[in-house]
Copies of this chain bind each other. A is one copy, B any other.
């Protein structure tokens, strides 16, 4: 029943995506990859405060969707949200700074790594309590529908999230109200340290639930950025045309542990290695090479991105800690936190 969107045969004529987008995709994939790696380095240097959840290995999902989005579309994601926030255009220094608890952070250190938000880029927030953002995404989609814009809302979550109540409520709600929202399950095989199959009644946690909401089951290779992009484009088109929501399951894998505290010892031997062979960044580079993109162009993107990540790191490191009066700011719209007169 499930549709596996396959990578198309590779040839220079395969230009349904086109040069400009492909290069942007590669640049984005690289940026996400290098930024996550840098986050890990900073953690090793004890500069990352609190927790952090890397998307290493899952970058093609973030990039493939973001590339298909319009500037005014909305993204909702989880604590594993660095990549999604960056993919919408948030500054790397803002993301790294947030992880480090610095004033330059996208929320000046108030939210932390699990709550990256950049409203000006359509990154409407990272949500840290499993499932909560699915209903919120419905609300944003409802608002777009009500206001008559044709903005799309994209909501990312993990495989483990499909077992919580809010998932069910949001999916049903979105279909009944025919909302322009695209739900994207990044199935990385694990709910924290637990293999998803051991806690889920069906094999495909999202796709096998689609029919419970009258939706088509869609599975995509989440390590193939092009495949993701194509599936996304189709869902966006339908949503903008008023044909309602979609539920997409992207099969992927996280290269590192669940969070910084996790050495990921629960993984069967060889599993990581297998997935590393399908590394989304390498895959994409190889495809570009096969398609005849000059090595030199790719190198220049790589160098440029590496430089930008270094600069962002420097700038985040140089940023001071947030002013302490922020503690009492912005509970309310008037800027303050007074609860009495």
A residues at B contact (CB < 8 Å): 163-169, 171-172, 175-176, 198-202, 208-209, 211-215
B209:A212 contact, CB within 8 angstroms: yes
This protein's copies in its complex: 2
Question: Which residues in B have their C-beta under 8 angstroms from that of A167?
Answer: 165, 168
- Interface residues of A, dominant DSSP: helix
Question: Which residues in B have their C-beta under 8 angstroms from that of A176?
Answer: 198-201
- Given contacts A163-B172, A172-B201, A201-B176, is CB(A211)–CB(B213) below 8 Å? no
Which chain B residue has the least Cβ–Cβ distance from A166? B165
Question: Which residues in B have their C-beta under 8 angstroms from that of A166?
Answer: 165
Of the residues B169, B171, B212, contact of A164 by C-beta under 8 Å: B169
CA–CA, A208 and B172, complex, Å: 12
- Given contacts A164-B169, A166-B165, is CB(A202)–CB(B213) below 8 Å? yes
Which chain B residue has the least Cβ–Cβ distance from A171? B201
- Among A166, A176, A199, the most chain B Cβ lie within 10 Å of the Cβ of A176
CA–CA, A165 and B171, complex, Å: 11
How distant is A173 from chain B, measured CB to nearest CB, in Å? 8
Q: Please, could you name 30 A-B residue pairs with CB atoms under 8 Å apart, sorted by A?
A: A163-B168, A163-B169, A164-B165, A164-B169, A165-B165, A165-B166, A165-B167, A165-B168, A165-B169, A167-B168, A168-B169, A171-B201, A172-B200, A172-B201, A175-B201, A176-B198, A176-B199, A176-B200, A176-B201, A201-B212, A201-B214, A201-B215, A202-B211, A202-B213, A202-B214, A208-B211, A208-B212, A211-B211, A211-B212, A212-B212
Question: Which residues in B have their C-beta under 8 angstroms from that of A212?
Answer: 201-202, 208-209, 211-212
Question: Which residues in B have their C-beta under 8 angstroms from that of A168?
Answer: 163-165, 167-169
CA–CA, A167 and B166, complex, Å: 11
CA–CA, A199 and B215, complex, Å: 15
How distant is A96 from chain B, measured CB to nearest CB, in Å? 36
Question: Which residues in B have their C-beta under 8 angstroms from that of A175?
Answer: 201
How distant is A209 from chain B, measured CB to nearest CB, in Å? 4
Which chain B residue has the least Cβ–Cβ distance from A214? B201
CA–CA, A200 and B200, complex, Å: 23
CA–CA, A163 and B175, complex, Å: 12
Which chain B residue has the least Cβ–Cβ distance from A1? B211
